[in-house]
Amino acid sequence: MINESMVNFYFDYIQPLLKNKKSLIGLIILLIYIFMATVGAAVVPLDMNSNFAERYQKPSLKHPFGTDYFGVDIFQQIVHGSRAVISLTMLASLLAVLIGAVVGVARGYLEGIAGKIIDTIIMVFLVIPSFPALLILAAIFMDKDLNLFEIALLVAIWLWAPLAKQISAQVLSIKNKEFIEASRMLNMPLSYILFSDITKLLIPYIFINFVMQIKGAMEFSVGLMFLGLAKFDPTHWGIMLNYALYQAGALYTAKGFHYVFFVVLNIVLLIYGGVLLSQGIEEVFNPRLRGNE
């Protein structure tokens, strides 16, 4: 029975994704980075000892991405930093999307006082300027030793509100459709209508938002490190980019081009992989897009 359902799952969900070029390429890119984050650190040793005389070495066999301002191998740092990027930023994006989706769907469907209260909460989080709020959080939590989940949650708190607002608008536009009316007539529970009827339709939209949140989560996590809230990790790609641009001035010297380039390339590739996958998912599962094929 279990095997049969797994087979069905494969043919219903996995195989169409593997057949779609966009989702396949996106999946490969993401798998490379997940592999890098999980296994890479064990395979590629990290030597963070600086060697100023060897700064800005060009890419070579010894240093595939060259060396940075400190004379440290950039490739090694990218590999070791991928763990922090994948874990912290993806977890933060996931949490932001979860909160945003639940609150957004609830706001879109519910009317009256409950809807207004949720709307007010969303508006409050939309208008709070995130940087001063982070400064206050830094003052509150500086002494606390926050774990990965808590830090991700701190990041997510400032990212979920725009998504919730967008989703609530989407829900408002579909909540009076016939199939929702039908569910209501059949006295289906509210949770079924919200999270089965409505949310399923929004999955591609939510997924692409999850991918787009990665960039925001990365910026926020760097902000948290510079505010002393998160453990300072010099191999985090955001920190590497910060060092390259603002401390080492790599953009102001031709020697430093590869320093910025390889960090940005990896950030872009990670996000692009996610975008391709989400576009593929939408093409595969959205009946309207599928009909145009």
Partner 1 sequence: MALKKWVALLTLALFMASILVGCGKEEPTESQPSQNVSQQTEQGTSGDDKQGDTSEAKQAGEIRLATDWPYPFHGNPFGAGGIGGAWWFAYEPFAYYIPKTGEYIPRLAESWEVDGNKVTIKLRSDVKFSDGEPFTSKDVVTTINFIQAMWQWPYEIEKVEATDDHTVVFTLTNTSFLHTLLTDGAMATLTPSHVYKDFADAAAEVAQLGKEIYYMEIEGQTVPEDKKSEYDEKAQQLREQINAFAPFETLGKIPVVGAFEPVRVTQSEMALEANKYHWTYSQMKINKIIFKKWSSNEFVWAALISNEVDAAHPSMPKDVVEQLSTLNPNLQVLTVSDLSDIALVFNFNRPLFKDINLRKAIAHILEKDKVRDVSVWQANSYGEYSHGILKSMEQEWLDQDTIQKMTKYTNDSAAAEKILTDAGYKKDGDTWKTPNGQPVQFTLSVYGPHSDWVLAAREVVQQLNSFGFKVEMQIIPEGMRDQVMQSGDYDVAIEFGATWQGYPHPLTGYQRLYEGDLFKITSFPAKEKYTTPWGELSPYDLALELQKVVQDDKEKARELIQQLAYITNEYLPVISLYEKVLPIYYSDGYKVEGWPAKDDPIWTLAPGGIERVYNLLIGTGQLSPVAR
Helix (H, G, I), strand (E, B) or coil at 111: coil
State the binding string over 55-94 for partner 1 (x if CB under 8 A, else -). xx------------xx------------------------
The stretch near partner 1 (CB under 8 A) out of 23-31, 48-56, 171-179, 202-210 is 48-56
| Amino acid making up residue 41 | A
From its phi and psi, is residue 228 left (phi > 0), alpha (psi between -120 and 50) or beta? Answer: left
> What does the alpha-carbon distance between residue 255 and residue 23 come to, in Å, rounded to a whole number?
37
CB 258 within 8 A of CB 74: yes
CA distances 266 to 24, 40, 74, Å, are 19, 15, 11
* Residue 46 makes contact with partner 1 by CB under 8 A: no
CA distances 211 to 152, 207, 265, 282, Å, are 15, 6, 16, 13
The stretch near partner 1 (CB under 8 A) out of 193-201, 240-248, 262-270, 274-282 is 240-248
* Residue 227 makes contact with partner 1 by CB under 8 A: yes
- Residue tagged 């963070």 (tokens): 48
Handedness of CA 68, 72, 76, 81 (dihedral sign): negative
Handedness of CA 3, 284, 212, 124 (dihedral sign): negative
Among 79, 84, 225, 270, binds partner 1 (CB under 8 A): 225
* Residue 261 makes contact with partner 1 by CB under 8 A: no
Q: How many residues bind partner 1 (CB under 8 A)?
A: 30
> What does the alpha-carbon distance between residue 98 and residue 34 come to, in Å, rounded to a whole number?
21
Q: Which residue's CB is nearer to partner 1, number 25 or number 135? A: 135
Q: Which residue's CB is nearer to partner 1, number 215 or number 231? A: 231
The stretch near partner 1 (CB under 8 A) out of 45-53, 78-86, 98-106, 205-213 is 45-53
Among 21, 247, 265, 290, binds partner 1 (CB under 8 A): 247
* Residue 110 makes contact with partner 1 by CB under 8 A: no
Among 234, 257, 269, 275, binds partner 1 (CB under 8 A): 234
Binding site for partner 1 (CB under 8 A): 48-50, 52, 55-56, 69-70, 135, 138-139, 142-143, 225-228, 231-232, 234, 245-249, 252-256
